[in-house]
Structure 1
Amino acid sequence: MVSSYVIYAAVPISVVVAVGLIRKWRSRSWAKCSSNTCLRGKTFLITGANSGIGLETAKALVKRKARVIFACRNIEKAKQAIAGIRKEQPIGGELIPMQLDLASFDSIQNFVGVVKAGFNKIDVLINNAGVSIPLKEDLKTKEGFEIHVGVNHLGHFYLTYLLLDLLKRASPSRVVVVSSTLHERGKLDFSDLNLRGAIEEAKKGKADRHNAGYCNSKLMNAYFARGLSAKLKSSGVDVNACCPGFCYTNLFRYFVRWYHYILMAPIALFFMRSAKQGSETVVYCATDYRIEGHTGKFYRDCAEYNSKYPFTKEEETKLWSISEEMIKARKPVKN
């Protein structure tokens, strides 16, 4: 009886150990940022720093003594995140919560006004915040833009533009744009950047397995990094995009149902990174001294990544021009 009990108990334990070893083996290919340079006196601004990859990035920077501005839509969650970090790291860089809603140009302008009143320079801007919402929900920003275009692209486009003087003042400085290799699935239709056609199809029940809104916005992020790096050439401000990898965060919470946790368990165990593992490339792009002066690149696993997307200067220029026009012509939508 005893031996049978031992055998039955040993089987699940062996499975858990085997899964753990396989995951550890898999994670060996996921790079880690090796730079531990002290960042005392440096000011980092992270959008969406209260959770997921943004939070883990903030933790890594605070550990290196940096001052970190938590630019978050929900200021209470930002304060809670900061309190959590302080419990883990009582000694470290300064943590500053500030309210920013990237779905509102007024909020962006107000935020930048407060930043400029309190800081004379920004060493690194990390455009991390993002949304991924089913197209059938047809959500829009305050100005009426499709939510992925408005938050993931235009919000960061406008924020970066308004902070350029503080970034130039901190030269050598950096802008890190958190994109995704899902940008390779993007397809820009300049006659319908707000995806009205795809949204109507989604409302009729047509499946949008890869979320065209999200993929397109990540492509816009990549183009934005390329375009901005060209415009800031010789300014001392490096601009790079990066992909954190396939991470287990709450970004795709609107798509997940209870049964997905069961179906995706093997994928999560073997292929999905934790938020901390995903933050490594972001931290690398923001801090590693070896890539200073490198600009207009795309990074994944702490190394330059060659995208499969056929980038063109024509598309880059057109997207930049239309983005400027969309911001200038904004008209807040009354709720």
Structure 2
Amino acid sequence: MTSPSSSSSDTDAPASVPAKVKKEALGWMEWIRGWLYLAYEMLFQRIMASHLQNPLPLPPLDDVTCVITGSTSGIGRETARQMAQAGAHVVMAVRNTKAAHELIRKWQDEWSGMGLPLNIEVMELDLLSLESVVKFSEAWNARLGPLHVLINNAGIFSIGEPQKFSKDGYEEHMQVNHLAPALLSVLLLPSLIRGSPSRIVNVNSIMHQVGFVDTEDMNVTSGKRKFTSLVGYSSSKLAQVMFSSILHKKLPAEAGISVICVSPGIVQTNVARDLPKIVQTGYRLIPYFIFNAEEGSRSSLFAATDPQIPEYCELLKTDEWPVSAFISQDCRPTNPSEEAHNLETSYRVWEKTLQMVGLPSDAVEKLLEGEDISCKFGAQQHQD
């Protein structure tokens, strides 16, 4: 693997800019560049990924245990099916457990006679409830077994709908796409350490290129920005990249845990209604260029199984690269957005995220030392 191409960074502010000036939004050039990048990816993603086989060939995964969120539809469904067929023990962490069980029956029937029965199980997880995330993590960690791969796949993009909040009080895009996966990743660290070398794979989006995170207004309620589903979605995906970058830095090499963000590319979906007219036109006129779910799952599968990933992540850490590993839809290393390189904001996102999900600021350090931590959203906290 080669390092991603160089990108300008906001980590070293010019001397003429006061250190305390707080960025309020993306600059026009950053915003335009982000949308041009998205248009370029839609037009050329199939060409850039033409070297990939479909489905992506996987190595034997008989000794791998993998938790996949949102695995009853789309990219997550394909990821779960293919990893199970490669021999992995797959845990479908989903809200709709009935749909997951029906899928497993279908997959087992299709696989009958082709090998051992697929090793898949279902556990309930509702990312719109941080208490559910805590319950899931406690149940899994109580097994005292290894976890080799966590794929934070589940996400929402509530097109054209008014702003909604979870019962925890957080904007739904921010909670489902960032806060809940962040909490899950931290709480499952004991199992990931037991599974070392292990991986956390965050299914991100090229839409993070037009995202901006205001850590003082994560819910987008202050009025400084008008909320749209596009603002909610892109901001949550950028926050995920920023959080991943700091988690990547805080995990020492001896922990053996790699943190990777991936872009599945532009996959067949209903999100187009909230995108600019030129992108909507592209969705209607050139469906050939849009990936199906199987094609969209390749970057997740690559990040979860490629043997060079741990070495690549460690190389980035050694080089003090400001962001975590980011794998593009063509299964090659790439750079996240310029804003994602802003380490100062990334550390603020880290601190604010831990505060919002109810974890102590030293949660990762304590878990790495084998200590227990408590979360304010844990069930035991509601018994007082």
> Which category of TM-score, normalised to the shorter sequence, fits these structures?
0.7 to 0.9
- Alignment check: 8 A CA contact 2:46 2:290 kept: no
SS at match of 2:337: coil
Q: TM-score scaled to structure 1, two decimals?
A: 0.81
Q: Deviations over 1:179-227 (max 9, x none)?
A: 111111011112211011469945xxxxx4x701000111011112211
- Alignment check: 8 A CA contact 1:35 1:287 kept: no
Distance 1:308 1:82, change over 3 A: same
SS at match of 1:292: helix
Q: Which residue of 1 aligns with 2:83?
A: 61
Q: Distance in 1 between matches of 2:79 and 2:124?
A: 18
Which of residues 310, 313, 320 in structure 2 aligns to 1:292?
310
* Equivalent runs, 1:77-116 vs 2, <5 Å: 77-90=99-112, 91=115, 92-116=117-141
Is 1:165 aligned with 2:219? no
* Equivalent runs, 1:146-165 vs 2, <5 Å: 146-165=171-190
Distance 1:39 1:325, change over 3 A: same
Q: Distance in 2 between matches of 1:294 and 1:233?
A: 14
Instruction: Say which one has the larger Rg.
Output: 1
Q: Distance in 2 between matches of 1:319 and 1:58?
A: 30
Q: Distance in 1 between matches of 2:224 and 2:123?
A: 33
Q: Which residue of 2 aligns with 1:20?
A: none
> Which structure has greater helix proportion?
1
Distance 1:107 1:288, change over 3 A: same
Q: Which residue of 1 aligns with 2:382?
A: none
Q: Distance in 1 between matches of 2:190 and 2:174?
A: 25
Q: Which residue of 2 aligns with 1:302?
A: 331
Distance 1:70 1:254, change over 3 A: farther
Q: Distance in 1 between matches of 2:282 and 2:163?
A: 27
Q: Deviations over 1:75-95 (max 9, x none)?
A: 111112222222332345401
Q: Which residue of 1 aligns with 2:284?
A: 265
- Give the superposition deviation at 1:35: 4.9
- Give the superposition deviation at 1:113: 2.2
Q: Deviations over 1:134-163 (max 9, x none)?
A: 475221112010001111111001111110
Q: Distance in 2 between matches of 1:232 and 1:88?
A: 40
Q: TM-score scaled to structure 2, two decimals?
A: 0.71
- Give the superposition deviation at 1:36: 2.5
Is 1:317 aligned with 2:335? no
Is 1:37 aligned with 2:62? no
Query: How many corresponding residue pairs?
Result: 298
Q: Deviations over 1:9-32 (max 9, x none)?
A: xxxxxxxxxxxxxxxx97353253
Distance 1:199 1:145, change over 3 A: farther
Matched-pair identity in %: 31
Q: Deviations over 1:47-99 (max 9, x none)?
A: 00111000111111012100100000111111122222223323454011111
Equivalent residue letter for 1:306: N
Q: Distance in 1 between matches of 2:164 and 2:311?
A: 39
Distance 1:198 1:305, change over 3 A: farther
- Give the superposition deviation at 1:277: 0.2
Q: Distance in 2 between matches of 1:32 and 1:225?
A: 26
Q: Deviations over 1:235-288 (max 9, x none)?
A: 1000010100000146x39869xxx99984323x23210010000010000001
Q: Distance in 2 between matches of 1:283 and 1:50?
A: 16
Which of residues 204, 208, 211 in structure 2 aligns to 1:183?
208
Q: Distance in 1 between matches of 2:353 and 2:308?
A: 32
Which of residues 248, 265, 269 in structure 2 aligns to 1:245?
265
- Alignment check: 8 A CA contact 2:357 2:377 kept: no
Runs of 4+ aligned residues of structure 1 deviating over 6 Å after TM superposition are 260-263, 329-332
SS at match of 2:108: helix
Q: Which residue of 1 aligns with 2:157?
A: 132
RMSD: 2.8
